[in-house]
Every structure is written in structure tokens, then in C-alpha cells.
Amino acid sequence: MDSFSRACQDFSLTISLKKTNVLGQGVEHPLAITINNYELEVVHEFTYLVSTITDSLSLDPEINRRIGRAASTFARLTKRVWENRKLTTHTKVAVYRACVFSTLLYGSETWRLYSRQERRLNAFHLRSLRRILDITWTDRVTNNEVLARAQIPSLFTLLQQRRLRWLGHVHCMSDGRIQKDLLYGELASGKRAQGQPHLRFKDVCKRDRKSLKTNVERWEDIASDRSHWRLELRRGLKRGEEKLRLAAEEKRTRRESSTKTTLEDSAFKCSR
């Protein structure tokens, strides 16, 4: 680092020591790196290009930051957009997708999300739509009905759309690009640690392709033709969204039937 600092000085460049931090991944002991006898601060997470990088490879800090910024953007538009009765629902949803939704899912094309993290994002998505449509919990409106009124798919489908679009885009890149090398590259030596391994981007994309019932084995041949790949994604996302809505309806029906059975079998009944 001292040599790098001297090289920067030769080009009249100065390294900001207070803004430079050290973050280590997969190290047993914290790293001690100095520049001109100044020891850099060791941090557990670092924000670079609006994205949060952690030493534990967890996306939870990034998701917390995305939800917080999206909620702040949503709150700023309350009086001007959401409570404005002169605007139609279609216009409000368009503003939501352009301002709030883009803030929430910034950089989500490369996220390797677990199910619990996707549920957190979907909960914020539905909560925002209920606020836009002026639907409260006392109205007893289902999530499927909320999505139908807003004419927008669930966040699970939108995440799959972004990831698979990016996957096809990377596949069509020329060889030697950093994105393509990271997608298809493998380590020459070493092995993964014992226990459940971390979820990889390849694993998430494979899960998406299976859930959308696309051709898992021939996806590269399909992605080589951009128009064919877009058509395949459009059909698969439509099937996947319908599958999610049917699953939600079946779950709600089972829950209501079990509650009804419990009430009928009770020995204590109200006379009114």
C-alpha cells in the first residue's frame, strides 16, 4: 500500500486515509494495513456505489438500507401523490414503480436472496400498495386482490424477471468481460467449507428457471436469441405469477376452513 500511495503521489493524487477502510472476507484475524505509518480502520461493512458489502457475505444490511430508503422516498410523496385525489390509481402506481420501486430494488439483478429476505421485500411491496389504494386491514382485502387492483405482479415475480434478464444479458456478452468471467469462472484449487454452503447467484437463477418451468438445460441456447429469450421469460413469468396466486388462494382457503372447524367444535357458543 505504501508503494501504491507513492505511485499516486507521482500523478498528483492523494489517498484520503479517513475514507479508506479495510474489509476482510474469510479471514480468521482482522487485517492490519497501513499507509505511511497510518493504520486503516477495519470495518465489517462498507458502502460502495450505493451498495453495501459485508464481511459475512450477508445481504441483510443491504436489504435494510434499501427498505429504509424506499420508505423515505414513499413518505416524501405522501401529500403530493398518494393523497392527491386528482391523480388516478394508474398514475400513482406508475409513480410508485418509477420512484419507490426502483429505489427498493436497485442492484437486485445480482442479489442471491433467500426466501425470508424475499418475503420481507414483498411485505414492503404490499404494504405500499395498500397505502396507495387506501386499503386498511379492516377492509379484509386479500393480497391477490390488492395486486389485481394495482395491476402489478408480486415482488417475487419482479425479482425473477430482473435476475433472468440480467442472466441472459451476461450470457450474450463477449468473452473476457468481467461479468461473464465471474458467472462462468471456477477456482483452480480449493474447496467449499463443510456444512450448508452460501447460496450462489447460479443457484438462485436455476431456482428461478425451475419455478417458471423454463428449459433448464437449454437456457443458454434460448438466451442466445434475445427476442426468443424475452418471449420465453414473458410466458414463464406469467405462469409463475398465476402459480403464486393459486397457492395463496389455497393457503387462505385451508386457513379459513381450519378456523371454521375449530369454532364449530367449541363447547362455548354465544347465544347472540
Q: pLDDT tens-digit profile of 98-147? A: 999 999 999 888 888 899 999 999 999 999 999 999 998 888 899 999 99
Whether 266 is covered by a domain: the verdict is no
Same domain, residue pair 98 and 160? no
The total of structural domains in the chain comes to: 3
Mean pLDDT of 158-167: 91
**Long-range Cβ pairs for the range 94-99 (8 Å, 24+):** 96/128, 96/129, 96/132, 97/152, 99/73
Residues spanned by the domain of 230? 153-186+199-248
Residue 53 CA, chain-centre distance (Å), reads 15
Whether 257 is covered by a domain: the verdict is no
Mean pLDDT of 163-175: 89
Dihedral (C-alpha) 198, 203, 204, 210: value to the nearest 10 degrees?
Answer: -150
Q: What is the pLDDT of residues 192-208, one digit of tens each?
A: 777 777 888 888 888 88
Whether 194 is covered by a domain: the verdict is no
Q: Which amino acid is at 185?
A: G
Whether 271 is covered by a domain: the verdict is no
**Quick one: 110 exposed, middle or buried, by C-beta within 10 A (0-12, 13-18, 19+)?**
middle
